[in-house]
Amino acid sequence: MIPLMRELKLNAEWKVFTAPDSFFEISKKMHNALQGNMEIHFSDEEISAYLSQAKSTYKQIQPQGDFIIIHDPQPCPVIKFEEKRKGRWLWRCHIDTMNPNPQAWSLISEYLPLYDALVFTKKEYVQKGINNLIFPITPSIDPFSDKNRDLGDDHAKEIIEKFVPLDKPLITQVSRFDPWKDPLGVIDVYRIVKETIPIRLVLIGSLAHDDPEGEEWLEKVRNYATGDPDIYIFTNLDGVADLEVNAFQRMSDIILQKSIKEGFGMTVTEALWKKTPVIGGNVGGIKLQIEDGKNGYLVNSVEEAAEKALFLLKNPNLSRKMGNMGHEKVKNEFLLIKHVENYLDLFLSLSK
């Protein structure tokens, strides 16, 4: 989005802060708590570290401009360290906060009134008692990036066959190795479908420095797969990067996104753009993208996901029709140009 804004002669910058590994343990807990994990509790020491990092972040990024957008809970308190505020400050939340852990919500909610406006993916994510200006804005994809640009079927097949044979139908899920993405449930779906139709399952996830749970959940997924030769599990460390993800999303018969919670679900957008039907969890931002029965299916259980997968595999013409409709949905609503337009409208509104 930054390059496109610059093309429009906006002096846009993207700033990133650094933090010790211990902070990312806290920020992952914060993410999970805000998404609804009620068992999480933050100690006084963790709260102190959280606020201390916010002060460090403020010093690192030195925020200034007509519009300052702070993303997600990790740096949310930085606004308290700005003594002489200039410009308009916005907090952008990418998480499904429909039912947050009360302690986690209280840790950020005291800073939200300091912001001029809040941006959520869905209005339903806004908690009661928030009186700020609220702007619902969805994320977007860049159709010209390596992950989303057109590859052509032959090139895509050539890429995939370096990793997986294409002699059976392919079901793929691309997401972090994370309990909210329900990768074990995805394997259960595959096992039910395989009883009727020979298929292969691919699970692709990126291991990120700020996601300390990733390695742990990757190991859980590998153990749950129990050496099934038709289950393939890849990470970015296996050479599966943006171009490879593009190929898998493009050539898979079905993309699963069986999330239990999902702020938006960019992998759903990416797959729909590539005309691949998606079966997604009936939650959060996935419901903004999938029109049930039209460009994919929304499901509430393993059994329902397996039923829809079998139906699509047995009805390839309908599957192609759904894929085409998914592409149009993304073209009209979730491309980068629309995202920038929404922010320009927001800036204009705050300037009046």
> How confident is the model over 37-49, as pLDDT tens digits?
999 999 999 999 9
Q: What is the C-alpha to C-alpha distance for residues 273 and 226, in angstroms, rounded to an integer?
A: 33
pLDDT of residue 319: 97
Could you read off the pLDDT of 321-348 as tens digits, one per residue?
999 999 999 999 999 999 999 999 999 9
Could you read off the pLDDT of 61-111 as tens digits, one per residue?
999 999 999 999 999 999 999 988 889 999 999 999 999 999 999 999 999
DSSP state of 104: H
pLDDT of residue 209: 64
What sign has the CA pseudo-torsion 78, 79, 85, 89?
A: positive
Could you read off the pLDDT of 146-182 as tens digits, one per residue?
999 999 999 999 999 999 999 999 999 999 999 999 9
Prediction pTM value: 0.94
SS (H, E, C) 208-267: CCCCCCHHHHHHHHHHHHCCCCCEEEEEHHHCCCHHHHHHHHHHCCEEEECCCCCCCCHH
CATH number of 2-140+336-351: 3.40.50.2000
Q: Is residue 171 within 8 Å of 243, Cβ to Cβ?
A: no
CATH number of 153-333: 3.40.50.2000
Burial of 102 per CB tally in 10 Å (0-12, 13-18, 19+): exposed
Q: What is the C-alpha to C-alpha distance for residues 318 and 341, in angstroms, rounded to an integer?
A: 33
Beta 296-299 vs 170-174: how paired, if at all? unpaired
pLDDT of residue 30: 95
The domain spans of the chain are 2-140+336-351, 153-333
Q: What is the C-alpha to C-alpha distance for residues 178 and 168, in angstroms, rounded to an integer?
A: 27
**Neighbouring residues of 260: CB distance < 8 A, sequence distance ≥ 6:** 179, 180, 181, 182, 281, 283
pLDDT of residue 25: 92
